[in-house]
């Protein structure tokens, strides 16, 4: 089913939802590929991830949307954001997940002095372990993509760069280089920007949290910079620093 849906850019009818009510007209967060809105689905308070569709990227957006929706639909864990369905109404493509009122984990520990940081880190580890046992690579693990629910529990979110480590799916979930042409890289050292720009023509991610073998794969005898479970573990280590210090780790990239 996963292979069929990804080949056809198709999301099964049983995942499609209606009756979603947005509570705001302006997006709360503008990501690289989508805008986030707050809303309601019946009694559920939800986040609405609305994919931006342009003529030159429409085919890629459809594929990215189907991939993320299908991956999320297979996940069910207390430390993964709860998937509620999708909107496909001929005008927009949206993914619906539960609303996380405490925002991301770095802001949460910064604003909550009594937060149990060790327990939060353990919760992220449990969520990541679950992903890997399902054969799913997150691909962009960082504080901004770990959210905190109303009970103060950490949940992994934003699966836009996730992939499935199954050979039959690999060719179906490659990332299109055009998607990353507007990424802001000016904060990196000049010589590193060249490396990262080349890297992003193949795969996506956030350079600060990328493992060395993803940034410069040839130096490690690799032909690909695609994320894997090991690179997720590297990013998890940096996330531990973020949570324990309540701030982003200094950039490790060097010329």
Do the domain assignments include residue 255?
Answer: no
pLDDT in tens, 3-21: 555 555 567 788 888 888 9
Residue 140 and residue 195 in one domain: yes
Half-sphere exposure of 12 (CA within 13 A, CB side): 11
Residue 94 and residue 117 in one domain: no
pTM of the predicted structure, to 2 decimals: 0.80
Residue 157 and residue 79 in one domain: no
pLDDT in tens, 97-122: 999 999 999 999 999 999 999 999 99
The residue segments making up the domain with residue 14 are 2-98
Query: Which of these, 149, 134, 156, lies nearest to 235 by C-alpha position?
Result: 156
Do the domain assignments include residue 35?
Answer: yes
Q: Are 209 and 141 in contact (CB under 8 A)?
A: yes
Residue 222 and residue 129 in one domain: yes
CATH number at residue 36: 3.30.200.20
**Considering 56, 116, 119, 140, which one is annotated as catalytic?**
140
Do the domain assignments include residue 88?
Answer: yes
116 is catalytic: no
CATH number at residue 138: 1.10.510.10
pLDDT in tens, 149-192: 999 999 999 999 998 876 444 443 443 333 233 323 333 333 33
d(CA 47, CA 37): 6
Residue 72 and residue 182 in one domain: no
Residue 231 and residue 111 in one domain: yes
Residue 118 and residue 233 in one domain: yes
């Amino acid at each position: 089913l996963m292979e069929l849906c990804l080949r056809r850019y198709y999301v099964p009818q049983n995942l499609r939802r209606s009756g979603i009510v947005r509570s705001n007209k302006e997006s709360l967060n503008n990501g690289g590929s989508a805008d986030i809105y707050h809303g309601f689905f019946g009694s559920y308070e939800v986040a609405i991830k609305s994919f931006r569709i342009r003529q030159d990227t429409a085919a890629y957006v459809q594929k990215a949307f189907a991939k993320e929706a299908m991956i999320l639909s297979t996940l069910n864990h207390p430390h993964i954001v709860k998937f509620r369905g999708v909107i496909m109404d001929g005008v927009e493509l949206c993914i619906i997940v539960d609303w996380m009122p405490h925002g991301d984990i770095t802001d949460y520990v910064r604003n909550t002095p009594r937060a149990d940081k060790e327990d939060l880190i353990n919760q992220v580890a449990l969520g990541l372990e679950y992903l890997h046992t399902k054969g799913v690579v997150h691909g962009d693990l960082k504080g901004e993509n770990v959210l905190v629910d109303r009970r103060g529990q950490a949940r992994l979110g934003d699966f836009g760069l996730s992939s499935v480590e199954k050979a039959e799916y690999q060719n179906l979930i490659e990332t299109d280089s055009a998607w990353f042409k507007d990424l802001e890289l000016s904060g990196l050292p000049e010589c590193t920007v060249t490396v990262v720009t080349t890297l992003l023509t193949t795969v996506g991610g956030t350079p600060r949290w990328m493992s060395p073998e993803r940034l410069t794969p040839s130096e490690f005898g690799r032909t690909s910079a695609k994320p894997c479970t090991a690179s997720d573990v590297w990013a998890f280590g940096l996330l531990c620093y973020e949570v324990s210090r309540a701030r982003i780790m200094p950039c490790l990239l060097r010329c």
